[in-house]
Chains A and B, each alone.
Chain A
Amino acid sequence: MTASSRASERSHAIFAIEQDLDLTPEQHARLDAVRLTLEGDPDLQPDEWDADQVMPEEARRRVADAGFLGAGLSARWGGQELDPLSLGLLHQEVGRFCSSLRSLLTVHGMVASVIDRWGTDSIQRRVLPGAAKGELILAFALTEDGVGSDGASVTTRLEKAAAGYRLTGAKRWVTFGEWADHVLVVARSAEGPTAVLVARGSPGVEVRSVRDLLGVRASMTADLAFHDVSVPEENVMGRAGFGFEWVAQSALELGRFSVAWGSLGLAYAGLESMVRHARERVQFGRALAEHQLVQRIISRSIVDVKAAASLCRRAADLRQRRHVDAIVSTAIAKYAAARCAARVSQEAVQIHGARGCGPGSVQRLLRDSRIMEIIEGTSQMHEISIANHYTKRPAPRRQSAVASPMPRSTS
């Protein structure tokens, strides 16, 4: 073993051990298995995927075989039904490895959860067993050319037809839209925003690859067009008119949880690489890590990552307890972790100097981190919703908002 590979293992271990504190033996074992699946496989090369702008099918098979694509899904469909912390740690580890691959877990899991929650029995039976195994891939289509943060204003039309509906319009930036077998489309019907599941193979569905993105370049992103596509009535999720605030928001809420943890993983990757390089690189007769201005960068990054990790843990804890503040805590965690990923990956490039700007370097983390502050709600939308949550309600709260169920006799 070379000195540099030992140093590499040590710097990884410092942060790995600290973040793994308080985990149950089962959570530890699962985390080790996740790391082994990703890092123990020489065929999985995120830098190559980034350079080629393609996610290989092999990567999909590996994560599907490892159960990552059914991780959050109910056991009755063959999912692992992981607790929120375990699910977060999975997304953290995949995010540490490759944000494009993590985004597959994100969008697939978001749509699977919507189908599990709001889908009809026949759609659930048809789609969810395959989705849990990763044999069917699911994607989410909300954004349009003229609609970004203001998701309730979608213009894609869903019109009543003799049998079910007809769908017409165009969606942009659909993550893994190229791979998706089914796409959850948020459209506008006579009743208002309506979410429908559209089979990619339906006549009239057009898929155009999008390449040369700034980050998550292996996320098989596509623009989708729907030309008078026939959609059966049973493919409506929830009810017509409830597609945005009730259905799409439930998907986005899980998406924020995933992106929060994935961003934290990205930040860990930047921090580990930064520390490793600062220990090994010698300038002016001393390791970079012994130069005070470099120490400042490292210490700020460590504190930043630990703060984001605490907020992600908090979000998982409130989610586990079904606390009413779980939603705002997830928004806070996503906002903090995405900003942390952006700052730490920028500093990682700075510490690496010219090497950080070259191919196969921390530059991938920097580019991917920019996407984290945009997807699943921009940082600016989060600033609005977080501020509103705390300024538009009385303080202090009159009673604990812990969601302990009421005894039935008191109604």
Chain B
Amino acid sequence: MKMETARDVIRTFLTDSLDAPDLGESEDIFAAGLVGSMFALQLVEFVESRFEIEIENEDLELENFNSVLGIVRLVERKRPA
């Protein structure tokens, strides 16, 4: 069975949560107006619990959270290899 990658998990979370099945990997979910006021909170909780990392103040850059690829890069940077 094919292993699910972090990219798959993040893409599924975003497309499901935002009801955006055609979401592009670089598409800015904030600029596209897909995100409600509580979503940021949900996103932080998801990323931290699913990948066992801790989001810190210096990680608060929109580019770390505003697209599938941005979140993948953040997770890969924060997780020890």
Q: Which residues of A contact B (CB under 8 A)?
A: 118, 120, 151-152, 238-239, 242, 244-246, 249-250, 253, 322, 324, 326-328, 331, 385, 388, 392-394, 397-399, 401, 403-406, 408-411
Contact = CB atoms under 8 A, between A and B. Distances in A.
A177 B75 CA distance: 39
Interface string B37-81: 111111011101111100001001100000000000001100111
B16 A405 contact: no
Contacts of A151: 37
A411 B41 contact: no
A381 to B, nearest CB: 9
A239 B57 contact: yes
Interface string B1-22: 0011110010011001111010
B33 interface: no
Contact of A246 (B18, B40, B52): B40
Contacts of A118: 57
B32 to A, nearest CB: 13
Contacts of A406: 4, 6, 9, 50-51
Contacts, number: 91
Nearest to A239: B60
A394 B19 contact: yes
B41 A327 contact: yes
Nearest to B44: A246
15 contacts: A118-B57, A239-B61, A244-B37, A249-B40, A324-B46, A393-B17, A394-B16, A403-B45, A405-B50, A405-B52, A409-B3, A410-B3, A410-B5, A411-B51, A411-B76
B46 A392 contact: no
A307 B58 CA distance: 42
Interface of B is mostly: helix
Given A246-B41, A403-B46, A238 B57 contact: yes
Contacts of B45: 322, 324, 326-327, 403
B74 to A, nearest CB: 12
Interface of B: 3-6, 9, 12-13, 16-19, 21, 36-42, 44-46, 48-52, 57, 60-61, 75-76, 79-81
A250 B41 contact: yes
Contacts of B81: 408
A245 B38 CA distance: 7
A411 B79 contact: yes
B18 A324 contact: no
Contacts of A246: 40-41, 44, 60
Given A250-B41, A410-B4, A411-B6, A403 B49 contact: yes
Nearest to B61: A239
Nearest to B17: A393
Contacts of A392: 18-19
A315 to B, nearest CB: 14
Given A120-B57, A411-B79, A245 B37 contact: yes
Nearest to A403: B49
A409 B76 CA distance: 11
Contact of A411 (B5, B39, B42, B57): B5
Contact of B37 (A249, A401, A403, A405): A249
Contacts of B76: 411
Contacts of B18: 392-393
B20 to A, nearest CB: 9
Contact of B38 (A253, A393, A399, A410): A253
A245 B44 CA distance: 11
A411 B50 CA distance: 12
B50 A408 contact: no
Contact of B41 (A120, A245, A397): A245
B50 A403 contact: yes
A249 B6 contact: no
Which 10 interchain pairs have the tightest Cβ spacing?
A: A403-B49, A322-B49, A411-B6, A245-B40, A239-B60, A392-B19, A405-B52, A393-B19, A410-B3, A242-B60
A244 B50 CA distance: 24
B60 A394 contact: no
